[in-house]
Amino acid sequence: MRQQASNNLVDQTYWDRGYDQIKLDIADPVDTVRQWIERQIPRGMGSCFEVGCFPGRYLAVFGELGYELHGLDRTPRVETELPLWLKSRSYKVGRFFRGDFFSHGASRTYDIVCSFGFIEHFRDWECVLAKHSSLVNRGGCLVVAVPNFSGSVQRFLHRTLDRANYDLHHVPAMDPARWGEVVRRLGFSILYTGYFGRFDFWTMNGSPTRLQHVGLSLLFRNMRLLRKVPEGLRSFAPYCGMVARRR
């Protein structure tokens, strides 16, 4: 579910290859992003719309919290398998759309609009965030989280050991303080902006060089020590996020 190549760093075929065989499942209870959602969002009876919703592992968390679930993505499984799976878990399920977010003609707004790992794939991320904001009800919340490759330690590690994956992300978009500036101008109050989670690192580099193998080995050997760094520091935290309420 991505825009034109001039603005979008990732072609849709990349996502479709990754989604082809993926099993539908809710995020694990120890998942850092799931825990952040559960800290930030109270139980509710309203509606939740996720941009780039497939495979639904975080959307299902909002189902657990009592929200009616809606979403949009470009992968074929979004209109068939995903809503059926969500219904099988006894969640309240609304409408799911297969299509491009930027040409999606929304006929309604929602109590929560969210995305996870979406806006940082676009150079024109401010417009992407504004489009999110336009879908939020008055009094509703915008919830956005992305990986953090912008902090000094995380940036160095991903550029050095995970370069192919790093290049699929627009690092200047990984800045929740700037997100806050954008949505304030659109009539939102900020409830949370920041970096979260204890140090973590993952790589999507399928063909690491010998030197990268050595670097990854050293990193994972020292992971226990690195995870003792206080949570939420921009240099080390694996994620950043924002929660904002429309006035």
List the domains of the chain with CATH numbers: 12-148+170-199+234-246 (3.40.50.150)
| Mean of pLDDT values over 50-60 | 97
Reported as a single tens digit per residue, the pLDDT across 194-209 is 999 999 999 886 778 8
Task: Give the per-residue pLDDT at 6.
Answer: 44
Reported as a single tens digit per residue, the pLDDT across 79-110 is 989 999 999 999 999 999 999 998 888 789 99
Identify the residue with better confidence: 3 or 183. 183
Task: Give the per-residue pLDDT at 200.
Answer: 96
The model's confidence at residue 14, banded by pLDDT at 50, 70 and 90, is low
> Rounded CA gap, 196 and 38, in Å?
13
| Residue whose entry in the numeric block shows the structure tokens 């150079």 | 123
> Rounded CA gap, 174 and 149, in Å?
7
Spatial contact of 58 and 72, defined as CB atoms under 8 Å apart: no
Asked whether the predicted pLDDT for residue 1 surpasses 60, the reply is no
Task: Give the per-residue pLDDT at 124.
Answer: 95
Global pTM reads: 0.91
Write the CB contacts of 189 (distance below 8 Å, at least 6 apart in sequence): 244, 245, 247
The model's confidence at residue 18, banded by pLDDT at 50, 70 and 90, is low
The model's confidence at residue 161, banded by pLDDT at 50, 70 and 90, is very high
> Rounded CA gap, 39 and 145, in Å?
13
Give the count of alpha carbons within 13 A of 47, CB side only. 15
Per-chain mean pLDDT for the chain: 92
